[in-house]
Structure 1
Amino acid sequence: MQIEIKIDDSCTEPRMIIITNKVDNEINSIIHTLSSTAPELITGFYNDLAEILSPEDIIRIYAEGGKIFASVNKKEYLLRQRLYELEEQLTKYSFVRISNAEIINLKKVCNFDLSLSGTICVTLSDNTTTYVSRRYVPKIKQVLGI
């Protein structure tokens, strides 16, 4: 892909032109990225207070008792988004789903224990131990390159 930037003092608003022979997944991804102008914020609730959570600080997001929680700095924040929405939003921040009920931040993983047959034990930076469900083991191995 070639990128060209032209500086024009008479231009009052940025304009983008994409010249291509066909619209493919790469072009659609660029269009989607450029058109989503609203910042994607994650708001967590702790002790009746709403706080903006930084994706880099989130260790894991999990479902329990019909609610969604995020672990951040030894606090458990209640989230109002659905797990699949959070998974889509956080993929670019190195989050990966390890079960139907949990997403983890790969940057907060201390180690993966592959000695168990059929599953993987994950130790996170807050000393939480969790497990990759059998269904997601191939995906995690692919992410890890093993």
Structure 2
Amino acid sequence: MKINVEIDETLERLEVLIRAKEWDEDVNQLMNRLQEKRRSYFSGTNDETRHVFKPEEILYLYTEDKTVMARTEEGRYRMKERLYELEEELSKEQFVRLSKSAIANLDALHKFEASFNGTLCVYFRNGEKEYVSRRYVSDIKRKIEGKG
């Protein structure tokens, strides 16, 4: 892939041009990345205090008693959004669904262990663990191997 950047002071807004021989998977992935909605910051509450953190500070998101929680190195924070809403605003390259109730930051993962029932156990760098549902095992493997 060849990448060119052209600075033109006469432009009033950013313009992106993709040139390709045909519409293929690479073009499709580029389009998806360019169109992704991403937030620069998230906020959650711990006791009565609202904390602000960047997406890359999130180790994982999970549901607990019908409440979405964000786990960072600093603590656990109650989020106001639903899990699927947060998933839509996170980088698909950096975050992966573990189960119906958990999403993980790939940068926070330490190791995997296969479980007897076909699931994976994921260990985070901070020592905590979550289980990957069978439904999401292939997606995680694909992302870790750099194929998706």
- Short-chain TM bin: 0.7 to 0.9
Work out whether residues 56 and 93 of structure 1, in 8 Å CA contact, stay in contact via their aligned partners in 2.
no
45 and 14 in structure 1: CA distance in 2 versus 1, 3 angstrom threshold: same
After TM superposition, give the deviation of residue 42 of structure 1 in Å.
0.9
TM-score scaled by structure 2? Answer: 0.76
After TM superposition, give the deviation of residue 31 of structure 1 in Å.
5.9
Query: Residue in 2 aligned with 1:99?
Result: 99
Structure 2: 5+ residue runs without aligned partners? none
Larger radius of gyration: 1
After TM superposition, give the deviation of residue 143 of structure 1 in Å.
1.9
TM-score scaled by structure 1? Answer: 0.76
Query: Residue in 2 aligned with 1:108?
Result: 108
Query: Residue in 1 aligned with 2:66?
Result: 66
Work out whether residues 61 and 71 of structure 1, in 8 Å CA contact, stay in contact via their aligned partners in 2.
yes
Structure 1: 5+ residue runs without aligned partners? none
- Alignment partners' CA distance in 2, 1:129 and 1:27: 33
Q: Percent identity?
A: 30
Query: Residue in 2 aligned with 1:7?
Result: 8
After TM superposition, give the deviation of residue 100 of structure 1 in Å.
0.1
Counterpart residue type for residue 56 of structure 1 = E
Counterpart residue type for residue 50 of structure 1 = R
RMSD between aligned residues:
3.0
Question: Alpha-carbon deviations, 1:77-126, whole Å to 9, x = none?
Answer: 00011111211222346111010000011111111012534011111122
- Alignment partners' CA distance in 1, 2:125 and 2:19: 45
